[in-house]
Structure 1
């Protein structure tokens, strides 16, 4: 049953956004854990991630840093497609859930599927927030707030460096 759900999810994403293999044909990585189709939970040490990831991605994704507001490549980006975790390739958000905001980071009102992200209490910087982590590799993506648009009222405020984008392939 688990395998059937996985096949259905991959098939659904492929149907919504064209052929995944065709979309990612130009994307190259030396990361052996990166997969746009695999959803199994990863258990990789930060020491291993540090060897694989670029320093700026490692700092934000694995050490929960934050990229500077208004500087991320996806902040004012408005193409149709799918956003993936830059660390492991997990599907995170559809462009149809992205919305314009003045917060300085790309924002979405819902993830692509329930378990594509997970949540953790974050009481750093003398505030209480909810951290958003990749559901596959536990990488820090950003935070979620209750000031987003309908239908969810949520604002997933994400770091661009933690996202890969694959546009819809037009046939």
Structure 2
């Protein structure tokens, strides 16, 4: 297969990929696309609604050390306790577990690999991905886009 055919196939796969974050009826909190665009910054919209990824080491939340709760920037649902955050060295806020029932997962086969995508269980907003290289006790690394989060100090 030549490069052009490979690229065309890859783009077709990406376009065919189901987008849970784009207003599916399965999420309790729903807004129209225009309402999401008003509610979110362009960067947050790109991540939460279009499954984009922010550049590593750009989020101030990566260095946040205070006690508190991380909420979905889209719907304000509580997602992660700061006690479960750790420095993964990857450039994104990382957690070894989410709050119970706060997130959902699905298989993500984009970019020629299989990963586990994580989204807000309330609005379906794309948060990031989960990997099996985190610390005890779960061994998981929830690698989350900072722009998808809002931190509330306690």
TM-score, structure 1 length as denominator?
Answer: 0.72
Q: Which runs of 5+ in 2 are unaligned?
A: 1-26
Aligned match of 1:126? 112
Aligned match of 1:95? 82
Shift of 1:127: 1.2
Map 1:51-130 to 2 at 5 A.
51-113=38-100, 115-130=101-116
- How many residues of Structure 1 are paired with residues of Structure 2 in the alignment? 128
Moved over 4 A (4+): none
User: For the residues of structure 2 that align with 1:52 and 1:77, how far apart are their CA atoms?
Assistant: 24
User: For the residues of structure 1 that align with 2:129 and 2:33, how far apart are their CA atoms?
Assistant: 21
SS at match of 1:75: helix
User: For the residues of structure 2 that align with 1:100 and 1:52, how far apart are their CA atoms?
Assistant: 30
Q: C-alpha deviations, 1:126-160, integer Å up to 9, x for none?
A: 11101000010000000000111111111000000
Q: Which runs of 5+ in 1 are unaligned?
A: 1-39
Shift of 1:64: 0.5
Please give the root-mean-square deviation of Cα atoms over the aligned residues, in Å. Answer: 1.2
1:143 equivalenced with 2:109 (yes/no) = no
TM-score, structure 2 length as denominator?
Answer: 0.79
User: For the residues of structure 1 that align with 2:32 and 2:132, how far apart are their CA atoms?
Assistant: 32
SS at match of 2:124: coil
SS at match of 2:38: helix
Q: C-alpha deviations, 1:38-92, integer Å up to 9, x for none?
A: xx82132334312322111101110000000011111122111100001100000
Counterpart pick for 1:162 among 105, 126, 148: 148
